[in-house]
Amino acid sequence: MPDRLITDMIDAELVPGARNAIQVCLRLQPEERITIITDEATSEIAAALQAEVEEIGSKHALFVLENYAHRPLTAMPRVILDDLAQSQVSIFAARPQPGELTSRMQVSDIVNKQHIRHGHMVNITPQIMREGMRADFRAVDALSQRLIERARHAERITCRTPRGTDFEAEFSPKLKWLKTSGIIMPEKWGNLPGGEIFTSPANSNGTFVVDGVVGDYLCSKYGDLHDTPLTAEVKNNRIVDLHCDHKELLEDFRAYTSIDKNSNRVGEFAIGTNTACTHVIGNILQDEKIPGVHIAFGHPYAEHTGANWVSKTHIDCVGRDFDIWFDGEQVMECGKFLV
């Protein structure tokens, strides 16, 4: 039997973000069914989401991962995957543990196959519910649309930062730009809070200074990298050198980007568009939505971008205070959009 959380003693500060998620981002309808996957660490937020679902009156099932399998998960429990396949809407709200990316990919495989409107809330926290999840997602969507229309015509995007990023990506019309603005459509699941446009670059070169955060479970381990930035030197879409004064971070990142033959390959080039995210908080889920550039090494979301390669890994890298040019035309100055 699915779980049920106590929904009559919810922190009032979580309610606006939960309502935004269910009513605005996912647009859940009374006649639809929703699956919510959570864990013990995130159960307070899941309870707020469940309360909003119950307010709408939709059929739903909620699963607390620890009730169905030991963690870290080697695979998503079959009972959860089977339930997910019956729903039109879904949410994954949990904290990742090392080695669990494959289990989350099992979720996204079903989401993609069934065209489920899916909100991915990995590492969601009460702070994010109070900040990024309170964005005006309709306004974020409008900004994202203006930006993606320009990006789709750009052959090159150049970005620079005061800390030393000098990075240029080249794009192909064969590789699709996507918008995950928080308004989630059946064609592409999205992170919540939303607010980015992204693609897989045809090529990229230069220096990328990660003085914001890195992704996956390394984010919770190392948090804000302002004082110990990681520098990646990229040539022809591959890491050719890494620098960082924090030796443990350097070795962890090097190991992560060496797991398979494409783990060190630039799979994603993205621009954050959530203007409610104004500062780095040390959490990739929100920090990658900060207006600016982030790149990811590993899986290129080939099923959406059209890239012809894959990877078992995907690690985002976020910087700060970007200047950005599309084919020489400046669209951002010191982290502020000019469009």
pLDDT tens profile 132-187 = 999 999 999 999 999 999 999 999 999 999 999 999 999 999 999 999 999 999 98
Residue 30, preceding bond cis, omega within 30 degrees? Answer: no
Burial 190-204 (b: 16+ CB within 10 A, else e): bbbbbbbbbbbbbeb
Residue with tokens 């797991």: 259
**The CATH number fitting domain 12-130, selected from 3.90.105.10, 3.40.50.300, 3.40.50.150, 3.40.1830.10:** 3.40.1830.10
Reported residue count of the chain is 339
- Least confident residue range of 28-32, 145-149, 183-187, 259-263: 183-187
The pLDDT value given to residue 1:
67
pLDDT in tens, 270-327: 999 999 999 999 999 899 999 999 999 999 999 899 999 999 999 999 999 999 999 9
Contact 199, 171 (CB under 8 A): yes
User: CB 78: neighbour CB atoms within 10 A?
Assistant: 11
What's the mean pLDDT when you consider all of the chain?
96
Query: For residue 22, what are its two tokens?
Result: 């269910």
Residue 8 — pLDDT band, cuts 50, 70, 90? low
The pLDDT value given to residue 9:
75
Contact 280, 259 (CB under 8 A): no
Q: Are β-strands 329-333 and 336-337 bridged in parallel, bridged antiparallel, or unpaired? A: antiparallel
The whole model's pTM is what?
Answer: 0.88
DSSP one-letter string for 71-134: SS-SS--HHHHHHHTT-SEEEEE----TT-HHHHHHHHHHHHHHT-EEEE-TT--HHHHHTGGG
Give the H or E element holding residue 297.
Answer: strand 292-298
Among the listed residues 334, 337, 306, 335, the one whose alpha carbon sits nearest the alpha carbon of residue 145: 337
pLDDT in tens, 196-244: 999 999 999 999 999 999 998 899 899 999 999 999 999 999 999 999 9
- Where exactly are the structural domains of the chain? 12-130, 135-337
